[in-house]
Every structure is written in structure tokens, then in C-alpha cells.
Structure 1
Amino acid sequence: MADNPSIIEQAEFPVMVTDAAGREVCIERKPERLVSGYYITTSMLIALGQEEKLVGIEAKADTRPLYGMAAPKLLDLPNVGTAKVFDLEGCAALRPDLVILPLKLKESINALEELGIPVLTVNPEDLPRLKETIALLGTATGTAQRADSLLKCCDEMQTFLVETIPQSERPSVYLAGNSSYLSTAGSEMYQNTMLELGGGQNVAAELEDPYWAEVSYEQLLAWNPQIILIASGAGYNKEDLISDPNLTSLKAVQDGRVYTMPSSLEAWDSPVPGALLGSLWTASVLHSSFYDSEAFQSDVADFYRTFYDLEIDQAILAR
């Protein structure tokens, strides 16, 4: 589903872009020193071939398997904190040409701009905004053609899902969060898009929380989903969930339809460049007669070969 993006780009600067905060930002010259304060944009920059220009990234980089596989030098870079606690001074000390931050860190913009450092904010919490973020970074880093190849791949995966998965057969699905199986994603989170594109009906779509929402046993029992998916990187396992005596009456538990999303590459249930792979995985679980695990593994290998120059051992997807 992916074209080869190996393109030598001759982008012209300055460029004017609009970020997630609605700010018009002029980037005077092609950035040579990048700071990414968000794992999603770090992954995007790797996919855009910009890993060598990164001089600082978000904290906890060692928890991102993809970095070690595709761009191991990133693990040695200084970190600039988290989305909750951003290291403004540490970031400035890296002398970046461009800083990319999640929208929730927009309060840091003024301080960085006062130092003459251009800043872009992103908020890729649904599929259209994910695509906008890819296009934004492509323009801002002079890699628009490579970004277009990535966007084309995303569009092809989306079209495949819409045309292949029957809309009349949409089982009810509960996505158990990574911190607790009594947390889940509502309609305002990207995970809802993942479930819907994968051919499921999110039982928690009525929730409008912008982050993981805590739910009660009573609420989960009332929803009584046909299928439970466990988010990637969960701090518990399938056995913990199915052995909870409070959940034994759930249809998904009784039918043995509880599945854990692979987490050995990256979190496909978040809006990373490979986010559509999360929907493909969901489809392979919910609608295996239309799209099976073998086809899924082939598509994963193709995606990471094309955009991350990685050869994926398909056995890794079982972890």
C-alpha cells in the first residue's frame, strides 16, 4: 500500500504555515536543528527522513521500540521533558531552528519565540488532523513530497478499509486503556476513529472526554461489548482482565473474544504515522474473513520498509 518515498527535495524557503493553535508561522530557512517534544511528531520526523536533524526529543524515548529499531541515535539525545512538564531552558540550550510541541504545551510558545525560536503546535487527535499534521511537518521541514507519499499511503489504507469491511456487520467493541481496563476512549479520541475504521462500534462513543475516561464495572457491564481490545503497552495483561470476577458475565469474556494490540513497534492506537495500521489490525481481528492476519502482517512489513527502512520480522507482531 506504500510508494517508495526516496525523493531528493528542493524546497524553497521561507514558507508560511498554520499550526494547530491557528497561528501563522513563518519559517525563514530549512530547519537543520529540530526539537520534538511529542512522541507522535518524533515518529513523523523519522518517517519524513529527518531523524539526523533532531537534537532533542521528548522524555522516555527508551519506551518507544521504534526509535531503537529505526533511529537508535535518538536514544542518546537530550530530552526536553513531557507534555506535562516541558523543559524550556533545556530546549533553548539546544539552539533549535524549529520546535514542535503538542497543543497542550502552547503556553511555552511565547517564551521560545522571545528567544527567536520558531514553534509549531500540533493536535492530531482525529484522522483529518493527523493528516494535517503530517502535511504541516512536511512543509515546515522541506519534505513535502515525502509527506505526500505518506499521506497517499494513509489514504489507500483508509479507502481499503471503507471498501472492504462490511458496514452492516459492526460488532460492539470496548477498548480497554493502557493504564487500566476500567479506562477507555470516547468519541473525542483518535482511538474511536481506529475502532470505527476497523469495522467496530465503540461502546464508549457516548463519552466526550478528550483523554482516557475512567468507567465503573457497572457501566462496562451495561455496555456488554461483543469484543474487548486491550490497548498497546497496557500495564496489565489479558489474563488479568478475563480473571476479574466482576467481568465474567461479559459476552466478550464468555466468548473468548479479548485481544491485545501488538506493542512491539509503536502504539498504533495513537495518531502516529502508522496509525492506520491500528485500524487494519482491528479489522483483522473483527473481520478476519475479509482481511486476515497474514494480509495484515504483509501490510505492516511494507509500511515500515517504505517509510522507516526497516525489515520487520513478522513474528514480532505477536508480541
Structure 2
Amino acid sequence: MKRLTTRVAALATALALTVSLAACNNTADTSQSSSVTVETEESTAAPATPEESVEAQPLTYPMTLTDQAGRTVTIESEPQTIVSGYYISSSLLIALGRADRMVGIEAKADTRPIYSLSAPELLELPSVGSAKEFDLEGCAALEPDLVILPLKLESAADSLTELGIPVLLINPEDRTLLAETITLVGQATNAAEAADSLLAFTQEQQTRLETTLADADRPDVYLAGNSDLLSTAGSAMYQSDLIDLAGGRNVAEGITDTYWVDIDYEQLLAWDPDYIILASDASYTCDDVLNDANLADCTAVKNGSVYQMPGDAEAWDSPVPGGILGAVWLSTVLHPDLCSADEANAVMGNFYENFYGFTYPLA
């Protein structure tokens, strides 16, 4: 890949040092997804489904991929230097054995335990900012072979592409899209075998939960957001898939927005969930909810069925590579008679040992 120093300098005369995207639409467009098509000089592969093994795809370069914004992206050679501007792709690169190729990372990386536990060297990398304020010039100055960004940074991706830097936009906003993300990044970074193993692990646990909970009654579950109890995820979001896999019913399933939605106490009481689950990084506590006078008549509060998703390794209530563990954990809360905590801990330990190289549960 040609070095970009002169073109970076040219870009600096036309663009501000940072790209502020705060005014852009924060809603992820889940209508766009990758076909994960690989085209090489030797062959053209048919689009892959999430269930297909990525080993079936030829991994020779140059390759052309369709990312999750529907953009055609050509990667000339196997990426040796990668910038990840999204915590989900950063975590995924660790799981795929590509952390040592990262040269830039998203802002606030030091707030995510998964990095210090599995790849602490990432905390020393330059920050390229966040989705709201992405450092376009700083990213380009790193001269990466590949950049991976969230869908909402499409404008920045186009600018980097003009400089000859290939950019993949990812959008892992539900279970199917997360599988596509894993496949896509695995192909782009020549880590298909690791991606295949990760997908196989997830599928194994999904099948186990579906089989175990096939005939179980499904309690009503309300999943609260990290910033406010009265913020929740509807049926279009990954969090709703998590509840379903764990053998529950998302009381907010009628909400079709693709981002967190604010409600009021009246709506929450009308739903009257059997369980209230707090996001792993919630800014409030289970006690706050249990002692909230506005919820005194809520079934979950009356029964003491308020829990917080674990977050000591990473936020399982978000579409991270280990997101299936959120369903594994929640199944033990909703159906302790069918899903044991000991079995769940064994699954979690196996996952983090194999894909991240540390022991879990944490001491």
C-alpha cells in the first residue's frame, strides 16, 4: 500500500482537524447489511450467510468486500496495521488474534476492562476519537492498511477512502448483523479460522439455550439503559435478541426504533415486567430501582426481581463478540431450574480462556 503522507497533508488543508458528527443521525440503519462478498483476482465467491463457515471463502488478496453500509471496499494486501474506531471491532480484533496489528483505537479505551485483561498494550495506542468527534487527520496520519468504523461514521469513511485508505463500516445491531460483522472482519484481516471458531461457539450456546428453554414459560423482562432507568431497547436491537435467547419476552418489543428509546413511569407500570434488568454499566443501582416509590406496584420490584447485567469483563448487553454470554447469564436468572449458574460460569470461562486468554470469573 502506498504511503499517504503527502495526501494527508493535502487533506489537512481542506478539512478541520476533527470531524464532529454530533449533528448527524444517531440512529443505526439496520436496513443495510453486508453481503460479505469476497472478490479476488482468482475467483468471485457467492454472498455468505451468517451460518456459513468463513473457511469456505477464499482469502487471497487483493479482495473486495461489501461492508455493512453496502459500500464496496477493496483491500490490496493483508492488513498489517489496523485502526479500530469502535469498541466492538476492537474487542473483535482481540478475539481474532489481531490485536498486535492495531495502531489506533477509539476514545475512552481505558474504561473497558476487556482491554486491560486481554491486551493491555492497546491502552497505549493513539486515540482516534469517538463517533461524535472522530479525529480524521489523526487516523490518516497513522497510515493504516485498514480502518474499521461504526456505521454512523460513514462520512469519515468516505474521506479516508479518498486518501486510498480502505475502511470497513460495521453495524452489529442485532444477532444476525453481529454474525455478519464477525465474518466480514475475519475475512478482511485474514483471520477466517478464528472467526469461524467464534461463530461456532456462539451458535453452540444459542442452540443449547433454544433447546433447553423450548418449553419454558417466558417471563416479561424490561431491560433498562445505562444512563436512565426509563430508557429501553425495542425489538430491532440486539438487547431484545438477548432477552429472547435467555427465555424471556421483551416488554418493549412493540418499539421498532433502532436506538434506545425514552419512556415514562406510566408506560413501565403498564408493562408491569416480572424482571427488570439493568445495563452492565448503568449509572444507577438495583437498590435505586427497588427503593423507587414510583415503582412500588411493579411486579418486579415487589418480588425483588431486579438484577444488573455483569460488566466486569465487558458489557454483555451490547453486541460484543462475547454478547452471547449475556443470554447465558440471563437464562440463569429467568430459569434457574433449567440453567445452572455453575454451567454458565463454565461456558464463560471457556470463552474467555479460548478467545481472550484470561481466566473468568475474575478473582
For residue 189 of structure 1, the aligned residue among 237, 259, 263 is 237
Measured in 2, the distance between the counterparts of 1:11 and 1:105 equals 27
Q: Structure 1: how far apart are the matches of 2:241 and 2:135?
A: 32
Residue 259 of structure 1 deviates from its aligned partner by 0.7
* Residue from 123, 143, 158 that aligns with 1:95: 143
CA contact (8 A) 1:25 1:118 kept: yes
Give the match for residue 4 of structure 1. none
In the alignment, residue 86 of structure 2 is paired with which amino acid?
Y
The answer to whether 1:240 aligns with 2:283 is: no
- State the match for 1:111 in structure 2: 159
How many residues align? The count is 307
Of the three residues 103, 106, 109, the one matched with 1:58 is: 106
Query: What CA RMSD, in Å, does the superposition of the two structures yield over aligned residues?
Result: 1.3
Give secondary structure in 1 for the equivalent of 2:83. Answer: strand
- Distance in 1 separating the partners of 2:90 and 2:362: 25
TM-score, normalised on structure 1? Answer: 0.94
Q: Structure 1 residues 76, 315: CA separation in 2 closer, same or farther (over 3 Å shift)?
A: closer
TM-score (ref. length: structure 2) = 0.83
Pair 1:211-2:259 in alignment: yes
Secondary structure, in 3 states, of the residue corresponding to 1:26? strand
Q: Contact conserved, 1:183 with 1:213, CA < 8 A, in 2?
A: yes
| Contact 1:11-1:142 within 8 A present in 2 as well | yes
Equivalent positions of 1:1-319 (< 5 A) are: 11-312=59-360, 314=361
Cα pair 1:11 1:143 within 8 Å, conserved = no
8 Å contact from structure 2 (residues 216, 247) kept in 1: no
Structure 1 residues 48 and 315, CA gap change in structure 2 (3 angstroms) = closer
CA distance in 2, matches of 1:240, 1:109: 41
Determine if contact 1:167/1:199 at 8 Å carries over to the other structure: no
**Counterparts of 2:217 and 2:248 in 1: how far apart (Å)?**
8
Other structure's SS at 1:100 match: strand
In structure 2, what is the Cα distance between the partners aligned to 1:41 and 1:55? 13
3-state SS in 1 of match to 2:68? coil
Structure 2, unaligned runs of 5 or more: 1-57
> What percentage of aligned pairs have identical amino acids?
54
Runs of 4+ in 1 over 3 A off after TM superposition: none
Q: Distance in 1 between matches of 2:146 and 2:81?
A: 7
Highest RCO, 1 vs 2 (Cα 8 Å, sep ≥ 6)? 1
Whichever of the two has the greater Rg, that structure is: 2
Please report how far the alpha carbon of residue 12 of structure 1 lies from its aligned counterpart in structure 2 after TM superposition: 2.3
Cα deviation for residue 115 of structure 1 reads 1.0
Q: Distance in 2 between matches of 1:286 and 1:130?
A: 24
